[in-house]
Structure 1
């Protein structure tokens, strides 16, 4: 390894770090680059997979990513996060996911299904959930959108545990390479884990061990269904930062709490194989995805949330207020901090250092704005993590892995700007990069037309022609 002036490394040394294979206990990925879960309403309304998802996943695999972690895949319609997301709630969904696996495997890319349940963070639950309160660890509404919730009964908890287990079984039968439990960013598992959200007084609330009981039961039920050799990982908050919007809210889990949970999920060598480190107990959250929030886009697209929560109209009024909108932007940047790329690396290192002393076979993936070779190689070299996950930089540059082989990262003007326009547009529009400045053209109209052409390219080739 060659180190040059001021502690920097030569690009070829960074490439060696990034493109070395990564061995898990039961899985080997060709490089250290993972496509993180991303939002995209491109499936059928009833939860069956769509042609556009196939095109998207194939595009990422072709671009050189080592492993794709699916977007949130609901294990039940009550756990739907957004409409038009492919689900894994029934055996008749297996053939579609099998085709997804075949498409990405053709490029030497692995595919891990992210099993999810929205709980009270149900942005658009669809007509099936229109008059139902969202299932959660608590009956307190979510404090951002104001989505109404009801605390799950013991019977509902058992049913949901089984839904996760059957989702994992279906993923294995589809020929996929593993599953990830979404236990971060405010969804149902977070709602049980977080001391800032979980207010139960039964065996699933109170101590950190009790709060982890729900997800540990899920892990054990999955292992019972798929056996010890099927890859299973957990996405988890390093720190919750639950009071980001209202400082009087409980802060939620600390790093020490998370470490305790991770130790429990090892389950004496019979539990998870890896941890995927994020942060933030809501979605969106200033730390996830880290970047900016455009008030203009909030005004334009947040209207789709108005029937989802009792606070949505209040939020919409704030975003449209000449004082409230800029104030929200200021608070967002303040709570995010100055670091974007590698924002969760210190959390990952703390957890990895402790967990690998117990079990050296456990691997860590870290998410948070990665798109430059020197930053990616740095966190791997420092043992903060074993691999990194990315979403927005891959939306901006589908072939980012190939770019990283050739240079430090995207050339100036082609980088992901962390504007989060892709996220906000997803409430109404196709998934894509909506930062006009990144597209070629001498005028705004030319740039806009080129942007729309690229966004719509994922619909090609059409299913029938």
Structure 2
């Protein structure tokens, strides 16, 4: 076994050095202003995370098209954005020798009804499993619209580089537009953008190549990709590995693995009662390590596994399998911004997280307590306060209802 630990630096192929193996995975901060520019709260939040010892922070998803928002307070980066505010955000996130990459996204059809009456997608297919009540049936994209969206991704990446972000990540997971193109369940096109996997992965390759053309060979470009959709007729593990190989062959700098969609939210740790979590997975704390071990035999591209990690021993064990190069953490950072420093100073450190609950399962589900509780923790940090691990889930629901009404509990991003 290799002797690797969380403190060890990692050098990407372009020469960029990440000071340790801890990677803050994207979380939806909901801290954009009315014009969808970053607020001062985002600056405060990412400065706090940088000081907490993280090697690489991934922003919450930044939308490439201001007519296609996944949530009301999404940040958007395009030619209408105030680049000065983005520069302040980037400067905050690069303190303490940390890196900050911007996650770029287009939601496709995963836009709540109250935000968009006519969403677009590869094909005019509704979300299912009850989600059709909160999301409108999309319209299939035209050829010219597909090229316009590809250009928007490239423009956003160019502007992110100009603002001082040290890399970008394409959001190709969790059922958003890139993921929709990859999935045969959601992509029923009969042109060059659909049908065979070669055609279905054309969109993500075109997005990547357009970004690369704008930012150059030395600027890191990564992707967040599903290991699978965990849906019948959807994106499979075998297909995912083929996409990983294609992206690796084209020079992608970093691949983060997650899984699931709104319809089957494995990325949230959701459990299928018919498919109990294996004991080995529970012990390793990682949702997708079995997949990562298979991928490592196929590519040498740096990899990140995200989902479930809570302790230094499990993280170091994962690194020493050589199946992953970085450990993705998220919710632990919302509860304790100093979590990275503590992990690196104590090889036995861990922080178990109890599932927040109001004590009423029906209310928890309706109010998405598992999401909004962590969101409120980020808002506390953004406001210059400490996170509160004892924060009442019931008070979070009440505060959210009072401040935003029931629309705040519409289906949200993960």
Q: Which TM-score bucket, shorter chain as reference?
A: 0.7 to 0.9
Conserved? CA contact 1:369–1:418, under 8 Å: no
Local SS of the residue matching 2:252: coil
1:346 matches 2:346: no
Shift, 1:196, TM fit: 2.2
Local SS of the residue matching 1:379: helix
CA distance in 2, matches of 1:346, 1:258: 14
Shift, 1:376, TM fit: 0.7
Per-residue CA deviation, residues 327-378 of structure 1 (Å, 9 max, x unaligned), is xxxx65555725452111111221122112xxxxx20011112121111111
Structure 2 residue aligned with 1:134: 119
Distance change (3 Å), C-alpha of 1:333 and 1:61: farther
Structure 2 residue aligned with 1:230: 219
Conserved? CA contact 1:82–1:124, under 8 Å: no
Structure 1 residue aligned with 2:403: none
Distance change (3 Å), C-alpha of 1:100 and 1:437: closer
Local SS of the residue matching 1:209: helix
The runs of 5 or more residues in structure 1 that have no matched partner are 3-12, 243-248, 292-330, 357-361, 440-446, 457-465
Question: Mapping of 1:35-434 within 5 angstroms?
Answer: 35-90=24-79, 92-123=81-112, 126=115, 129=116, 131=117, 133-144=118-129, 145-146=131-132, 147=135, 148-242=137-231, 249-250=232-233, 252-267=234-249, 270-280=250-260, 282-283=261-262, 285-290=264-269, 332=272, 334-335=274-275, 337-338=277-278, 339=281, 341-356=285-300, 362-408=301-347, 415-419=352-356, 421-425=369-373, 431=379
Local SS of the residue matching 2:305: strand
Structure 2 residue aligned with 1:17: 5
Aligned residues: 372
CA distance in 2, matches of 1:287, 1:279: 6
Worse-matched range after superposition: 100-109 or 86-95: 86-95
Conserved? CA contact 1:371–1:400, under 8 Å: no
Shift, 1:113, TM fit: 0.4
Distance change (3 Å), C-alpha of 1:84 and 1:23: same
Conserved? CA contact 2:334–2:374, under 8 Å: no
Local SS of the residue matching 1:258: helix
CA distance in 2, matches of 1:39, 1:120: 18
Local SS of the residue matching 2:75: coil
CA distance in 2, matches of 1:284, 1:418: 21
CA distance in 2, matches of 1:373, 1:430: 23
CA distance in 2, matches of 1:432, 1:202: 48
Distance change (3 Å), C-alpha of 1:116 and 1:96: same
Shift, 1:206, TM fit: 0.8
Conserved? CA contact 2:245–2:298, under 8 Å: no
Distance change (3 Å), C-alpha of 1:177 and 1:418: farther
Conserved? CA contact 1:45–1:85, under 8 Å: no
Per-residue CA deviation, residues 114-139 of structure 1 (Å, 9 max, x unaligned), is 0000011124763xx3x3x2111110
Task: Provide the aligned C-alpha RMSD in A.
Answer: 2.8
Local SS of the residue matching 1:236: strand
Local SS of the residue matching 2:100: strand
The runs of 5 or more residues in structure 2 that have no matched partner are 357-367, 382-386, 401-414
CA distance in 2, matches of 1:427, 1:399: 17
Structure 1 residue aligned with 2:360: none
TM-score, with structure 2 as normaliser = 0.82
